[in-house]
Chains A and B, each alone.
Chain A
Amino acid sequence: MHDNVIDRSKEITILEVLDRVLNKGVIITGDIVISVADIDLVYLGIKLMLSSVETMEQVKSGK
């Protein structure tokens, strides 16, 4: 297998991990508490789904 194919597969796998941990799994009602890197703490209400880090950044920047 070509090196860049392997690299791309690794990157896809990391993205798959991030997607699953942030977007999937049991949601425990209550506060979902999360902050993104150096951005201030963001509290998500119980009905809100966290779709991705990018979404969080958009929420934070008011886009």
Chain B
Amino acid sequence: MKLLRRIVALFRRSSIDREIDEELQAHIAMRAEDNVAAGMSPDAAARDARLRFGNPTVVRERTEHVDFALGIDSIWRDIRYAIRGYRNAPIFAIVAITTLALGIGANTAIFQLLNEVRLRSLPVANPEELVDIRIIGGNHGMGISDTRYSSLTRPLWQEIERSHEPLSGVFAWTSNFQNMQTGLTANDIRPVRSINVSSDFFNVLGVAPFAGRFLGPEDAASACTSSNAVVSYSWWQSQMGGRPITAAESVVLDGTQYRIVGVAPARFFGLAVGESFDFVTPLCIPPNVQREHFDVAVMGRLAPGWTSDRATQWFTSASKGFFETALPQGYSSNTTELFRNFKLGAFPAAAGVSNLRDSYDSSLWILLGITGLVLLIACANLANLMLARASARQREVALRMALGATRARLLRQLLIESSLLAITGALLGVGLAQLFSRLLIRALTTGNDSLTLTVHTDWRVLLFAAAVAILTCAVFGTLPAFRASKADPIHALKSGDGHASSRRERFSLQRIMVVVQVAVSMVLLVTALLFVRSFRNLMTVDPGMRERGITIGYIDFHNSKIDPARIEDFKRQLISEVRAVPGVTNVATTSMIPLNGGSWGHGVDVGPKEGNSRFTWVSPTYFQTMEISIVSGRGFNDNDIQSSPRVAIVNKAFIRTFLDGQNPLGKTVRTKAEPRYPSTLFEIVGVIPDTKYNDLRGAPEPMVFVPAMQFPIEANVPGAGVVISSTLPSSVLGEDIKRVLASSHPEIRTRFFELQQQIRNNLLRERLLAILSGFFGALAAILVMVGLYGVVSYLVTRRRNELGIRIALGSTRARIISLVMSEAGRMLLLGTLIGAMISLAATRGASSLLFGLKSWDPVTIALAVASLATVSALASFLPAFRAAALNPVEALRRE
């Protein structure tokens, strides 16, 4: 209450004055009344009362002083004083505030992203009750997995839907890209993101429609034929103009017509953080559902009284029945047994799921660390500035102390000055962070892989910014303030110049700060160089195949209604048509596009050895198109067909793993049985070198290539991936091919993109880390240069006298320069040593993000030392040169 009154009093200072006045006047009046009662005349009574009281103004001021001495009012006065001071030195204030705003802004921006992908809960009702039902330890690569979020099969979902005691509600969902019809012909399509959901999806999540209605059980019943759909708010706004939902609104996705019945609220982005959706459609479970297809995710809401641990226990014990009922047919006995022994668990899912989180989590923490260190360096520079300012104000401080200001009082004044800078910097920084985080999100968004992330400035972000501001304030404000308030007033007042006192001490403080700066920037430079070199390694790594001038195409011809037995022939016909397009040098089909994510493997028996290998079905021209050489044996040809013996080409890693370096030609590989892929015996007829598989980072793994014509007919799907080598850019070539194919097969759909572009997109994280850490590393170096320059210049000014004497006594300019520079050199040496040790420890955590080099890379450390040495040589040479150019007569006369 008292504090509140004082704060109020701040704005009504006169009312406090009035209150005291009134109290004193009442006193005088009462005395006068008593005097009159005692028989005095009114005039005499009043005079006597005033005489006894003394000067009312003085009393009032003394009383006021008691009330305000250490109160808020004087803080306000200090703040006004500080602002006046900064107004007199605007450059200092601008530099300090800009530095802080940029530093705090960068830190807050990265924290904001971290908050978004990691800390925030889903925008649904009571997100902490949500659990994700998954197989504990994953499915060991069994079956076919579609996206990274889907971990269960549809039959398993049906079992869970039937029996889920710990959960009050449960739903299945899967997200994918579908083709939306945009024009009259089949190939007029655009990819849209849709979420297929079971009927309780919105109900369990507790999300209410923005307009219209959501999907319910009646929609699930007709999910596979024709049904209803919900659109996202952004789709409704951008594509439908936000008009009311009527019965006439419909959309065709992958050939199925959906009537639009509702709009989701704007804040609902689905369950995957960093992604968005355009449509929500009912999940179709066909009668002949593929039981080895792990393509749905299941989430539920814990019933009252259940925890995720207890729910896991329940699901684990119920798993046996679930998996027995959902057992896929056609697997080898080992795999079947594996499936039977899977156990389900319930995992907390309040923050949803996120590929973004998985791939960027550690990078963001590293970036946060980097920006934090840069801020630390900037703070050290600011502290130096503050010190310089404090020493210039030494006389003022000394005068105030001589006039009776206490140390606490002065300390408070100085701390108020620095926290004023920190607060202004933090406020601007939070504003800048909005800009920075949006720029970062834009940088993370690649062509076809859109990233939808709305950044919020919630209490966590504000708390973080406040904490950073307080910390910076402590670093750059406290030390100089303590230092200044320790001044000896008599000494400071006596000596004419402003910076006479405690000279030695302050000096070593500045030196310590330079050493810390050098050490920290050493860490930053090592980190930056590691990421840059790692990225360079990735960019120059040889994948073992051609990547330039390769166009990737996906051809979907399920509308052509080709008999499964004739699909390979049809593909052959298609690629001969593509081959005839001008500009195409070579073309081949493949079941698996290289270096593009995804994977396809089978269990194999090679003689006595058992294991897993990648399998790719390719047409004969694949190796020529991708420029992969056959090192021994033969490639595939048109005689390798369904009716001829099964043949295979393996890579060297396969030979190393399964054949111990024996001659592989003539050896056989038997695959393990899987649904629609019966166990098959292949004879090895050729060998290729090791090539990268789905990712540039990966180590070579065993690979088997098999002729496309020998693909199991029962597994055939009406679609093909093609690789095309050409001199034309993919965009041009893609359009040409589309035109050619559209005339002969108007019903097929195609999509083309450039392989190299795709590879670059997949290196986005590495590129971002390299660019940002490189930028911050360079920034750190510049900051250190500025700091070192300031300190060395100061040092030269301090030693002016001594240097003048040295020159007068015949010291050469070269010796003066080396004298000054060796001073800087010592600080550099110490800082570098400390920094090198810290960076050895610090970068160990980043080794999983590095490619082709260890975290203790000697070349990197040498490079960092070299660049720091260059920087500090530059920073100290100018002051040293100036020192050498001193006119001794002038230098000596000044003192």
Q: Do A and B assemble together?
A: no
Report B's interface with A, CB cutoff 8 A: none
